[in-house]
Structure 1
Amino acid sequence: MDRIQIRGGAKLNGTIQISGAKNAALPLMIASLLTEQTLTLENLPRLADVNQLVRILGNHGVDYSIDGKRRAEEANAGQTAHLTARSIVDTTAPYELVSKMRASFWVIAPLLARMGEARVSLPGGCAIGTRPVDLLLMVLERLGAKVTIDAGYVVATTPNGFIGAEVEFPKVTVGGTHTALMAAATAHGTSVIRNAAREPEVKDLADCLNKMGARIHGAGTSTIEVTGVARLNGARHSVLPDRIEAGTYATAVAMTGGDVLLEGVRPDLLQEALDALTAAGATITSDNSGVRVRRNGAGISAVDVATAPFPGFATDLQAQFMALMTRAKGVSRIKETIFENRFMHVQELARLGAHIKLEGDTAIVEGVKELRGAPVMATDLRASVSLVIAALAAEGETTVNRVYHLDRGFENLEQKLGACGADITRISG
């Protein structure tokens, strides 16, 4: 099993190209099931989750090809993939595939829309809370599906196709909103989605579906209206830049010091995080090429944050920001409002010398003068990269184990950090 070794103390200087967003790429790939024609996705990141979803979609009959498989010249440039679901050969998504990645459960909506039936295993993924699928199933039932649970599988049919309806979520759910968009796109009649997720990845899916012929209005706001169409066509769409990757590297620069240009970043996608980093002592500027992050000489100030749905502070950046606060002057409070079990990185940060106390949904972080390298273990995708950020500023050597979590969401992490001066090496086996 691979691990990463980091010798801390080096400032980061240079340029990092931000990849396409994992959280946008996965629902976009799943949307290929909605049409017989080819969906071409540009700026698709090279990630373990993308590869896993390719296998899942292939199980349903999706043909997948990539332009320019050689990576030598543009190793950090996104790939262009073509997905074609001319015919659906299997409407079952088996446990051995779905259990490895939670987002793969979303195939249920396009399978029902296209074939009128689906049998999909209950999902797996990171162990960061229960994250039930009840709101996703509520969407399907509200739009006319008949749903039962049988031996760990959701079995659903749409005997009359999806029927337009009003869907109001009791709480914001990105997965539920993705499901509603894909189900309503070809439903009979008009659907109105209330308390919809406003995340950029939701709007990116809606934009792509509209290119495919859907009639979606209001994506990016809390109320979305979808007028169903008879069929969707192929399209070409570029995956938006990954705001979580951008926020992660911005936090790493704030932690280590230095000066890094994050190319391709849209600051409007992570303004709350950039504001928090500015308050912590980083200097952040933006132009047409991206976002530049600097911290030279100034210490790190303690900043309180609370996670919230977009446009608030992203839960997927909480662990990274906590790593930064371990070196801040003073005490910070980090409140997690999205997932009930997303503090598993705390005990691993403590192994590096961090002082963190948990009180319910809040972590109280008392900054220390130095962290010291130690063996640590990644527990989930975002927690794993928080350990990398801490290790970059720690005295001595840190070994991060179970880095397959990192490979799920960060493309070429060691190469990108190493090119900016980090002493970081992957050890295979």
Structure 2
Amino acid sequence: MEAMKITGGNPLKGKIRAQGAKNATTKLLVASLLSDKPCRFYNVPNIVEIEVTVAMCQEIGMQVAWDKEAKVMEVVTKELNTSYIPQRFSGANRIPILMIGALLGRTDQDIIVPVAGGDLIGKRPIDFHLDSLRKLGATIEFREMKRQGAYFAQAHNGLKGTVIHLPYPSVGATENTILAAVTARGVTEIKNAAMEPEIVDLILFLQKLGANITLDVDRTIRIHGTRRFYEVEHSIIPDRIESASWAMAAIATKGEIFIEDAKHQDMITFLNKLREIGGGYSVKKDGIKFYYDGPLQGGLHLETDVHPGFMTDWQQPFVVLLTQATGSSVVHETVYENRFGYTDILKEMGADITLFKQCLGGKDCRFASQSFPHSLIVKGATPLACKDIHVPDLRAGFAYVMAALIAEGTSTITGLPFLDRGYEALDQKLIDLGAMIDRVEIDQRPEEYVYPQMTKPMQSVALGV
């Protein structure tokens, strides 16, 4: 099993380029299944999450040519070989459930997808997805199958546009509803929709593909159904989570990193909070420079929220950063109820963190009357000590890497497949920035999830785009 040995104490200094957004790329690949036209994507990150999504799409007929060095991927799904996503993808990620929205307008056959997976950060119910798709005219039911069961969906009578009000601006439910509405008859309105940059990127791609979609300032997305599609070229937006991760690592290690292509407008809330604690940054024409600008000051109140609020995926490394800030700070997690599990390891490393079940925020959130520890107080600045760590999920994984970079001594981190899901060439970038790390083989073999691998070779496609 592979492990990463990190010796803390070295400031990270240098230049890296922001990778393409994981959470945009996977959804764009699924969206391309709506049509039989070729699509060419630029700035595609070479990460495991993309490999798994490609493998899923290949199972049902997508042809793929991926130049990983050039970060270019060409895809076309001329026809569907099947509408069944194999059970081996059960729990791989959150993508299978989105296949329903994309395929309802492409096939009259039953669509069968395994249960959704992803990081263990709290419940991620798909009720909003299913309710919206049913309102559009789909029939969906869950059936026990082999290990975990699967969802069966069909729309033999076609989909029809309607008004859908989401109880919560769920990113996944918004994406699934958009994908289904593109080929529905008439007009679909999604109210209280999520408006994350990755959703806007999806909408831009679908507009190029042939969809007629508008966004209103009141979180309403309006889609006019169509069946006429076009070839597409699309450049994937930079990953705002990865950019923020490296920004925090630079400041926590008292270093300086220039992140080429980091997108200012997608990181406004993060940058405000960074400046509140004294973190340094400078926006340039081709990216953002992040640097240590003197001792960090706590006294911060941070509340995660849907966009344009503070991203839940920025929260874990920011808590590590707050362990190095003088004073007490409050973090209130309102998106997922079980996202503070990673703090146990940080406390063992020396962090002063206390969890609360109450809402320590400006307003009560949907977890207010439940017994989930979804608020915390972190006191700093505290030195951190090295530790052997097993990564439980993607974002906690980077928080642990960051903690190891500032800890005294050498930490051993296992569970690297979770990190490889979302961070491209993580260990090489760390080395290039001056970190003292080695990726090694060790004998210890804790239980960990192994992602499904591609079962079909890459197929070249003639696009002419």
**TM-score, normalized by length of structure 1?**
0.95
Aligned-pair distance for 1:232? 2.4
- Structure 1 gaps of 5+ residues are 72-77
Would you identify which runs of 4 or more consecutive aligned residues in structure 1 move more than 4 Å? none
* Aligned match of 2:432: 419
Per-residue CA deviations over 1:202-234 (Å, capped at 9, x if unaligned) read 000000000001101117861111001123232
Aligned-pair distance for 1:39? 1.4
- 2: CA distance, partners of 1:421 / 1:141: 53
- 1: CA distance, partners of 2:312 / 2:162: 30
* Aligned match of 2:92: 100
Question: Against the structure 1 CA distance between its residues 39 and 219, is the aligned structure 2 distance closer, same or farther, given a 3 Å change threshold?
Answer: farther
- 2: CA distance, partners of 1:93 / 1:165: 28
Give SS of 2:64's match: strand
- Structure 2 gaps of 5+ residues are 358-373, 443-465
- 2: CA distance, partners of 1:220 / 1:37: 32
Verify: 1:251 aligned to 2:248, yes or no: yes
Give SS of 1:3's match: strand
Aligned-pair distance for 1:320? 0.7
Verify: 1:127 aligned to 2:120, yes or no: yes
Q: Which residue type is aligned with residue 255 of structure 1?
A: A
* Aligned match of 1:81: 73
Verify: 1:138 aligned to 2:128, yes or no: no
- 1: CA distance, partners of 2:23 / 2:96: 12
| 8 A Cα contact 1:143 1:165, kept in partner | yes
Per-residue CA deviations over 1:309-358 (Å, capped at 9, x if unaligned) read 00110001111101111122111111110001111111111221112111
Per-residue CA deviations over 1:18-53 (Å, capped at 9, x if unaligned) read 000000001001112111111111101011010011
* Aligned match of 1:358: 355
| 8 A Cα contact 1:214 1:228, kept in partner | yes
* Aligned match of 1:74: none
Stretch moving more, 401-410 or 216-225: 216-225
- 1: CA distance, partners of 2:439 / 2:412: 10
Verify: 1:232 aligned to 2:265, yes or no: no
Q: Which residue type is aligned with residue 295 of structure 2?
A: A
Per-residue CA deviations over 1:358-383 (Å, capped at 9, x if unaligned) read 10210111224311111111111000
- 2: CA distance, partners of 1:176 / 1:234: 26
- 2: CA distance, partners of 1:330 / 1:261: 28
* Aligned match of 2:19: 19
Q: Which residue type is aligned with residue 38 of structure 1?
A: P
| 8 A Cα contact 1:197 1:220, kept in partner | no
Aligned-pair distance for 1:301? 3.2
Q: For residues 20-419 of structure 1, what are the structure 2 equivalents within 5 Å?
A: 20-67=20-67, 69=68, 71=69, 79-116=71-108, 117-151=110-144, 152-218=149-215, 222-360=219-357, 361-419=374-432
Give SS of 2:106's match: helix
Aligned-pair distance for 1:418? 1.7
| 8 A Cα contact 2:63 2:76, kept in partner | yes
Q: Which residue type is aligned with residue 107 of structure 2?
A: M
Number of residue pairs matched by the alignment: 421
- 2: CA distance, partners of 1:46 / 1:187: 34
**TM-score, normalized by length of structure 2?**
0.88
Aligned-pair distance for 1:94? 2.3
| 8 A Cα contact 2:323 2:379, kept in partner | yes
Per-residue CA deviations over 1:277-323 (Å, capped at 9, x if unaligned) read 11121111102111111114434534221100001100011111011
